[in-house]
Amino acid sequence: MLQQLQEQLDSVLATLSIFPNRSQFFNYDPVTLSCGELKNSNWTIKRNTSTKTNEECSKDWGTKNESNCFLQDPYPSDSGLYWCDSGAGACSEAVNITVTGGSVILESPVHPLQEGDAVTLRCMDKNTSFIPAEFYKDGLLIRNSSTGIMTILKVSKSDEGFYKCTISGSGESPDSWLSVTAGRPKSFHSPPMYVVLPVVGVCLSLAVVLVVLVLLFCLWRNHKGETDPDVSYTDVTIVPEVQPKSDKAETDSEATFYSTIKPAAS
């Protein structure tokens, strides 16, 4: 039961992290993927590409070290969906990774944003940084930037879509999907992890105590049955109780006895 609780907790906490923190990469740029510090060591990283599905790190691609997986020299064929997998049916959200052989990429968030979050998009040239760039959303030009940087202070659902950028003389980046989820109500405040984790620990401790008490109760029942078996009525002999005669009864009896004896005739 404790193992099942731990697996459920890991499935909630499991998140695929990517270093550098972006979804597009140049050819041969090393990439590190991690599932974080999960208690269950069976978690691994899998992927689906355009040619293969459900490939596991270190068996079909990359090298593994504990919970980290490394792509030392990624190629465009390594583009696809990557996720953390428990091996028992639980998995994290999938992340799209794109490896391009071109000279321009768009640096954008790996995971979905919430409404109201700020986001910064960077257009990166393989050889030069911070140069003028144009940004497109769903194929339409939305901004020109002299630094190659575009910032949205508060994203909304309308900002969701495919983004790309172009640099004059270098080319354009692949499309990158920017996902935006509905924000929480203003009155809602998510409890910090230093509050959540102790609560989870207490719940697990109570579960352990409950299991121990149930086991002790079962052992006590079994022990009682061995040392104090039930009594069978076939083994009992009922002896009727004999009531003692009273002194008065004995006196009357004696008087009656003597009265029956007549003196002999003279």
pLDDT tens digits for range 52-79: 999 999 999 999 987 789 999 999 999 9
Question: Is residue 139 left, alpha or beta, with left meaning phi > 0 and alpha meaning psi from -120 to 50?
Answer: left
User: Which pLDDT tens digit goes with each residue over 106-164?
Assistant: 999 999 999 999 999 999 999 877 789 999 999 999 999 999 999 999 999 999 999 99
State yes or no: pLDDT of 2 exceeds 50.
Answer: no
116-119 long-range contacts, CB within 8 A, separation 24+: 116/154, 116/155, 116/183, 117/154, 117/155, 118/151, 118/152, 118/153, 118/154, 118/155, 119/151, 119/152, 119/155, 119/178
What is the Cα–Cα distance from 226 to 216, expressed in whole angstroms? 16
Q: How far apart are CA 46 and CA 84, in angstroms?
A: 6
C-alpha 188: how far from chain center: 22
Provide the residue count of the chain. Answer: 266
Position of tokens 């640096």? 107
Tell me, what's the pLDDT at 187?
43
Q: What pairs with residue 135 in β-bridges? A: 143, 165
Sign of CA dihedral 11, 17, 23, 28: negative
